[in-house]
Structures are given as C-alpha cells and as structure tokens.
C-alpha cells in the first residue's frame, strides 16, 4: 500500500472514529470484565502498608519459623494435573512469621 | 559511627536473610545500647518490620499468585525478591514490578511455567488501579488533528494501559482464582491469549484483544507515528480495520490526550 | 520559613482549627464507603499522602470525604532523618495533594526510612545528637520551604537505643521545633512504648515536652512481644488504646488546650463503630478536663 492510500485510509478512519465515538455511548466494549470489586487497601502505612506493619506478625513470630513448604499448595495443583512433585530440595531462607 | 555510615549499614542489615542478623549485629557494637535484650534481638524486630511489611505488600499486590501456590510457598519467594530488589520509592504502590521476571528465573517455579505470566497480568491490574488520573483522547480531539499531519502524529497510551500476550489461559486461571469457575483449563495447548488491562474512570477492566488489535497497539507504542504503525500492522494483518480499531479504543479511553 | 526567628505558632493554614470537635480518625480504605453513607460525627480525618500518589478510587473517595471533613496529611515517606536531602519527586507529589485537598495539618516523623535509593518502609531510629539535629533541620527546612508552610513532626516508637544520645528524646524534639519552626505531633502511645522499651518514665517525658510546640496528639494500640524474661512493646496500630495510654493522654491534655487528637488503626481493621467508640473515649477525656477547668475558674 502506498503512502497516499494509507493516509487516505487513516483520515477516513479518524473521521469514522470521531463520529462513532461521539455518537456511541462511551463505555467498555463487549466482553470486558471488571478486575476488582472492592476498594483495594493503600500500600503505605505508618511504618506499614494496609496493615503491612510487619510488626503484626511480631506477636506470633516464632524464631524457629515455618519451614519453606517445598510443594506449592493451592489451585496450581489443579493446573499441574494434580502433580505434587517437589519444587525445591532445600530451604532458601527461613520464615519469620 | 557517622549518621551516613550507620544508615547504610543498617539498611544492608535489613535487606538480608534473618539468619544473617546474629553475624552482622556486632558491627553495631558501640553504636547501640547493650542491655538485657541483645542488639541482635532488637535488630530482628526491625528486620521483621521491614521484610514483613514489604512481603505483605507483595502478597497484597499478587493475590492470584497466592491463590495458586499458597502463602507458605509465595512468602519466602517474596522475601528473596525484596532482598534482591529493595523499593526505590517511598510510595509503595509501584513496588513489586519485575516479580514476574524474578519468578521466571527462580528454580522453585520451574514446574509452574505459567506463574510469571499470571504475575504479569496481576501487575498490569495493580498498575492500572493506582495509575494517575490522566485525560483521555476524545473523538473530538482526534478530528481536530489536520488530515495532512495525521500520519505523522504519535499517539500515547494512558498510564493505566497494559496489554500482554501469553500461551497460557490467563482468563480461565483468573476466574479460577476468583472462585468464579471450577473448570480446569487445558494447560497443554497454546491459548494465544491477548489481553488489554486498563482503568476507565474508577474501574480496572480486562478485555481480550484480537491479534490485529494487539499488533496495532504494540506498533503504536513502538513506532514513531500513526502512519508507520498502521503500515506495519497491515503488513501482518491485511484485513485490519483501522476505523473500527480507533472507534473502539476512543470509546475505551485508552489514548492520552495530546 | 528560612528565618526561624519568625516562628509560626499557628499551623492551621486552610481550615479553621477543628477545636469544636478535636478528635479525628485515621482514614483507611475499608471504611470509605461507610463514612460516606453514614457521615459519622467525627472532627476530622487523617491519611498517609503516599496512598494518594497516583489516581483512581483512593483520590475519588478522599475528595468526597474531604467535602464533609477537615483533613490532615500524615506522611510516612519523607525520611526526614536520612543523611541525604528529601527526595524532590516525593515533595512534588506531596505538594500536589496539599494543593488539591487543602489539609489543616501536614506531618511526618522524626525517623529515617531511606538510604541512597533504597527505601525500607519503616520508621527507623536516630541517635539524638548534634549531627542528627543538623540533618533533620536541613530536611525539615527544605520541606517547609517547598510547601511554603509549617509541618509538624512526630516522636517515633523505637526498639533500640543509641550509645551516642546526647539528650533525651523530648529535649531533641524541643530543640528541633526551636531551630526549624516546625511543630510537634506528640504520639502518646509511642511515648508509652518508648518508655517501656528503654526503661524511661513516660510522665517525665510529657513534663519535658515544650507544650507550645505541640499541635496534634496521636493515640493507638500496641502489641507486647516477649523476649526471654523481658518484653518489648511494638507499635502495631492493630488494637484498642490501652488503659495506661489513656491515663497518660489524660495527663498530657491537662497541659494543652484541647489539642487535635487522632486515633490510629492500621491493620486488623475493626468495624468502624469500634473506631468511633475509641474517638468518643478521647473526646470524653477532653470534655472532662474542660469541665474540671471551668469548675476551677
């Protein structure tokens, strides 16, 4: 397609879009979905985020910690076809909470 | 110890695993008061506050990842990410970018190859939620551009807009995570998923895109002008309908007002 | 603001002082809708400005709530005690919020949270000496100059003490207010926490504070953490204000004129009515003191 045809196409498209957009009710297209249904908490807090005052964990902190669970536990089991093959052999870091 | 040196050492002490605290505490001998509670114990309080609060932030940003692999699996990964990538801003809304790449390179997720793409989708949603309230380009704005300069015009996406492609069924996974579906998607085939995620007014939305729309958006971001973007899109998608595309995107308010 | 001899003693720049109802609540996302629907009888709200950088729902709700209530912006990210200047980008975004929402009070903490480009998202401790004083002075002045108004700074909760302290914390706060013209946000719970953690007398602390610099009081709940035979109090903001802190508050306000008082709750959010009952308790203490004073006159 040569430049001139391309430009004509573009100019026509813009005219159509300006018309279509101004007459159509502006709003999400068919097939869209909302991602969030509730107000998400703010991330910044007094030394913490939505609570992320990590110190909440302090009261229940256990120095021995929860060990890294080598098998992920959640919906991924369904996606992995129920496979519970270990993901890790060693603990990379101890847990604090 | 001078203030600057103290703060740097303290910062380095925080961004390391808990097991290192006992070893690094002696560098603060003479700086902190030694009493019935050891300096190491007191440093651990701060360590837990810093890493704990940031890990909580990462998990709050990636709730689908948590639904997929569980808190006990995700939290240690979050801590490792934080130690490698401390926040670069005091505003934490934008902390956690790049977690997808981190997961991709981590051996723990080698049997969960779709996890980085789910992270990418969640980041796009989070980014859209907190994006600035910039002004959309309207049909009127567009028609005000003189026809002869139109091909040389560049369009910019608004701050909230992301689009991503993935071989994994991200929408089905999202529905599973939200508890909206119990269907198990087929993970073997290439789903050629193409999504746009953006915010319109207060709502963060997700919308599947056609391959041609996706290509055009990608070209708008990467090419210098609208004319070039269109030309390149038509090369791979000869049936691409530019009028339909522009009408739709103007209605979705995805372009930034010039 | 550069000339600190012209000390502004009145920080209320946009709204009249909210002294008819001096008690406010920390405004958090889970309560936005209930507040708009029920318009609770509360004097004012306080938010962390950092949660309103960007746009979308947070700014939307803040704007709506601001139509009905005075607002205070209580920052957590200026890192005033860091040995580096305050980040200009942070100041710029903060100033934008000040211009839009016209808060009656602007505050941050006597602490640091950034070193170089790394941000730790915590209010970290400082040695109370001349070097720190100089650094804070410079950063508070930079902030006040940028905003064109006075800010107030809050005494922190800390879990570790410095060998190099040259003065008690209250004296350090007094000195800061004197040299910068800033005000003091007295967190009574933090004073209680500090006193437990470092073996101090909280009443001596209150007595030592220069009352004419104090423009706001914070109250919150904390958590006790046992360490061997000892314990530390952690400033968790996740529960009700405890009785000894209410007592300390009652003692503090006798030396002040109905100060703006805030109830903070940052995690494990209770129903909104629990916050309201905490606020009513603070108001009851302020009212009791007012009556006591009238009776004495």
Per residue in B74-127, pLDDT tens? 999 999 999 999 999 999 998 999 999 999 999 999 889 999 999 999 999 999
pLDDT at C107: 97
Q: Which residue, chain included where needed, has tokens 């360590």?
A: B47
* pTM for the structure as a whole: 0.90
pLDDT at A19: 82
Q: What is the mean pLDDT of residues B24-37?
A: 95
Q: What is the mean pLDDT of residues C52-69?
A: 95
Q: What is the mean pLDDT of residues B140-163?
A: 94
Of C48, C52, C234, the CB nearest to A55: C234
Q: Name the range with the highest mean pLDDT among B179-183, C104-108, C231-235.
A: C104-108
Given an 8 Å threshold on Cβ–Cβ distance, is B42 in contact with C159? yes
**C residues 114-153 closer than 8 Å to A (CB):** 121-123
Q: What is the mean pLDDT of residues B118-144?
A: 95
Which tops the pLDDT comparison, B188 or B221? B221
pLDDT at A54: 29
In chain C, what residues touch B3 (CB-CB under 8 Å)?
A: 83, 126-127, 131-132, 135
The string of pLDDT tens digits covering residues C87-106 is: 999 999 999 999 999 999 99
In contact, B49 and A53? CB cutoff 8 Å: yes
pLDDT at A68: 55
Given an 8 Å threshold on Cβ–Cβ distance, is A95 in contact with B75? yes
Residue C265 domain flag: yes
Q: What is the mean pLDDT of residues B114-141?
A: 96
pLDDT at A29: 57
* Percent of chain C clearing pLDDT 90 (strictly above): 86
Asked if residue B138 has pLDDT above 60, the reply is yes
C76 touches chain B (CB under 8 A): yes
Residue C4 domain flag: no
Distance from CA of B4 to the nearest CA of C (A): 5
Kindly identify which residue of chain C lies nearest to residue A58, measuring between CA atoms. Answer: C225
Asked if residue C72 has pLDDT above 90, the reply is yes
From first to last of the 97 residues of chain A, give the pLDDT tens digit: 688 888 899 999 998 888 876 555 555 556 788 887 777 877 777 643 333 332 223 333 333 334 455 678 888 888 864 344 444 444 444 444 4
B11 touches chain C (CB under 8 A): yes
* A20-25 contact pairs (CB < 8 A, 24+): A20/B139, A20/B243, A20/B247, A20/B250, A20/B251, A21/B138, A21/B139, A21/B142, A21/B247, A21/B250, A21/B251, A22/B138, A22/B139, A22/B140, A24/B247, A24/B251
Q: Domain residues of chain A, as ranges?
A: 3-79
Given an 8 Å threshold on Cβ–Cβ distance, is C48 in contact with A59? no
Give rounded-to-5 percent helix, strand, coil for chain A: 35, 5, 65
Distance from CA of B14 to the nearest CA of C (A): 8
In chain B, what residues touch A21 (CB-CB under 8 Å)?
A: 138-139, 142, 247, 250-251
pLDDT at B106: 94
Q: What is the mean pLDDT of residues C30-39?
A: 96
Q: What is the DSSP letter of B32?
A: B
Asked if residue C14 has pLDDT above 50, the reply is no
Asked if residue C173 has pLDDT above 90, the reply is yes
The mean predicted confidence, pLDDT, of chain B is 94
Phi and psi at C267, nearest 5°, equal: -155, 165
Q: What is the mean pLDDT of residues C207-219?
A: 96
pLDDT at A30: 66
Residue C14 domain flag: no
C113 touches chain B (CB under 8 A): yes
Q: What is the mean pLDDT of residues B133-138?
A: 96
In contact, B78 and B53? CB cutoff 8 Å: no
* Separation in Å, CA C273 to CA A48, C241, C287: 23, 15, 20
Given an 8 Å threshold on Cβ–Cβ distance, is A44 in contact with C266? no
pLDDT at B30: 94
C234 touches chain A (CB under 8 A): yes
Of A17, A35, A58, the CB nearest to B204: A35
* A63-68 contact pairs (CB < 8 A, 24+): A65/A94, A65/A95, A65/A96, A65/A97, A65/B18, A66/A95, A66/A97, A66/B72, A67/A91, A67/A94, A67/A95, A68/A92, A68/A93, A68/A94, A68/A95, A68/B72, A68/B73, A68/B76
Residue C11 domain flag: no
CATH of the domain at C94: 3.20.20.150
Most B CBs within 10 Å: which of C94, C120, C230, C235, as the mutation test of the B interface?
C120
pLDDT at B17: 92
B42 touches chain C (CB under 8 A): yes
Phi and psi at B11, nearest 5°, equal: -60, -45
B186 falls in which pLDDT band (50, 70, 90)?
A: confident
pLDDT at C19: 55
Given an 8 Å threshold on Cβ–Cβ distance, is A93 in contact with B60? no
Asked if residue C10 has pLDDT above 60, the reply is no
Does the complex come out with an ipTM higher than 0.85? yes
Asked if residue B251 has pLDDT above 90, the reply is yes
Up-side HSE of residue C244: CA atoms within 13 Å toward CB? 11
The string of pLDDT tens digits covering residues C120-152 is: 999 999 999 999 999 999 999 999 999 999 999
Given an 8 Å threshold on Cβ–Cβ distance, is C268 in contact with A52? no
Asked if residue B231 has pLDDT above 90, the reply is yes
Most B CBs within 10 Å: which of C95, C121, C162, as the mutation test of the B interface?
C121
C2 falls in which pLDDT band (50, 70, 90)?
A: very low
Given an 8 Å threshold on Cβ–Cβ distance, is A35 in contact with B185? no
Q: What is the mean pLDDT of residues B219-246?
A: 95
Which other chains touch chain C, taking contact as 3+ CB pairs less than 8 Å apart? Answer: A, B
pLDDT at C257: 86
C226 touches chain B (CB under 8 A): no
Q: Which residue, chain included where needed, has tokens 């397609």?
A: A1
A8 touches chain B (CB under 8 A): no
In chain C, what residues touch A59 (CB-CB under 8 Å)?
A: 223-225, 234, 236
pLDDT at A53: 31
Q: Domain residues of chain B, as ranges?
A: 1-112, 131-258
Kindly identify which residue of chain C lies nearest to residue B201, measuring between CA atoms. Answer: C56
The string of pLDDT tens digits covering residues B98-108 is: 999 999 999 99
pLDDT at A46: 63
A32 touches chain B (CB under 8 A): yes
Q: What is the mean pLDDT of residues B172-196?
A: 89
Which tops the pLDDT comparison, B213 or A25? B213
A40 touches chain C (CB under 8 A): yes
pLDDT at B13: 97
Q: Which residue, chain included where needed, has tokens 């602007």?
A: C106
Most A CBs within 10 Å: which of C234, C263, C268, C269, as the mutation test of the A interface?
C234
Distance from CA of B111 to the nearest CA of A (A): 7
Query: Which residues form the domain of C263?
Result: 23-296
């Amino acid at each position: 397609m040569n430049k001139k045809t391309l430009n004509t196409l573009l100019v026509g498209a813009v005219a159509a879009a300006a018309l279509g957009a101004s007459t159509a009710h502006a709003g999400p297209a068919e097939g869209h979905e909302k991602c969030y249904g509730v107000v998400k908490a703010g991330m910044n807090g007094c030394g913490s985020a939505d609570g992320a005052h990590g110190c909440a964990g302090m009261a229940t902190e256990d120095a021995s910690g929860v060990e890294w669970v080598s098998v992920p536990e959640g919906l991924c089991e369904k996606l992995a076809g129920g496979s519970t093959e270990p993901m890790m052999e060693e603990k990379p870091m101890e847990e604090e909470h | 110890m001078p203030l600057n040196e103290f703060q740097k050492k303290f910062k380095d002490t925080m961004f390391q695993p808990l097991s290192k605290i006992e070893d690094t505490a002696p560098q603060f001998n003479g700086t902190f008061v030694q009493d019935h509670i050891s300096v190491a114990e007191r440093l651990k309080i701060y360590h837990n506050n810093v890493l704990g609060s940031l890990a909580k932030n990462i998990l709050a940003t990636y709730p689908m990842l948590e639904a997929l692999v569980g808190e006990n699996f995700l939290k240690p990964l979050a801590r490792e990410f934080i130690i490698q990538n401390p926040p670069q801003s005091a505003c934490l809304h934008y902390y956690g970018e790049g977690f997808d790449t981190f997961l991709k390179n981590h051996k723990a997720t080698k049997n969960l190859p779709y996890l980085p793409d789910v992270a990418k989708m969640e980041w796009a949603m989070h980014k859209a939620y907190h994006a600035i309230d910039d002004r959309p380009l309207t049909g009127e704005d567009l028609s005000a551009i003189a026809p002869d300069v139109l091909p040389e015009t560049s369009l910019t996406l608004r701050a909230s807009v992301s689009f991503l492609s993935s071989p994994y069924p991200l929408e089905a996974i999202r529905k599973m995570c939200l508890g909206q579906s119990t269907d198990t998607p087929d993970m073997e085939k290439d789903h050629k998923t193409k999504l746009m995620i953006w915010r319109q007014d207060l709502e963060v939305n997700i919308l599947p895109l056609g391959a041609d729309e996706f290509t055009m958006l990608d070209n708008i971001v990467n090419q210098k002008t609208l004319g070039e973007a269109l030309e390149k899109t038509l090369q791979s998608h000869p049936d691409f309908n530019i009028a339909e595309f522009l009408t739709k995107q103007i209605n979705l308010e995805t372009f930034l007002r010039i | 603001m550069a000339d600190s001899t012209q000390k502004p003693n009145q920080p209320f720049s946009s709204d009249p002082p909210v002294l008819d109802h001096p008690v406010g609540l920390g405004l958090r996302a889970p309560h936005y809708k209930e507040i708009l629907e029920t318009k609770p009888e509360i004097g004012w709200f306080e938010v962390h400005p950092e949660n309103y950088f960007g746009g979308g729902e947070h700014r939307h709700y803040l704007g709506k709530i601001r139509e009905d209530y005075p607002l205070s912006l209580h920052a957590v990210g200026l890192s005033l005690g860091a040995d580096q200047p305050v980040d200009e980008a942070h100041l710029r975004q903060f100033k934008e919020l000040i211009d839009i929402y016209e808060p009656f009070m602007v505050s941050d903490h006597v602490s640091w949270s950034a070193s170089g480009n790394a941000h730790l998202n915590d209010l970290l401790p400082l040695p109370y000496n001349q070097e720190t004083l100089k650094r804070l002075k410079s950063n508070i002045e930079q902030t006040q100059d940028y905003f064109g108004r006075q800010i107030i700074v809050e005494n922190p909760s800390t879990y570790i003490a410095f060998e190099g302290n040259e003065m008690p914390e209250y004296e350090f706060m007094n000195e800061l207010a004197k040299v910068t013209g800033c005000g003091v946000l007295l967190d009574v719970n933090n004073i209680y926490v500090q006193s437990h953690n470092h073996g101090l007398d909280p009443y001596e602390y209150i007595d030592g504070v220069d009352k004419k610099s104090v423009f706001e009081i914070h109250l919150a709940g904390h958590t006790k953490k046992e360490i061997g035979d000892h314990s530390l109090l952690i400033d968790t903001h996740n529960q009700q204000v405890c009785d000894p802190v209410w007592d300390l508050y009652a003692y503090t306000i006798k030396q002040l004129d109905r100060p703006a008082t805030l109830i903070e709750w940052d995690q494990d959010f209770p129903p909104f009515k629990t916050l309201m009952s905490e606020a009513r308790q603070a108001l009851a203490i302020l009212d009791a003191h007012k009556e006591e004073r009238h009776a004495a006159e």
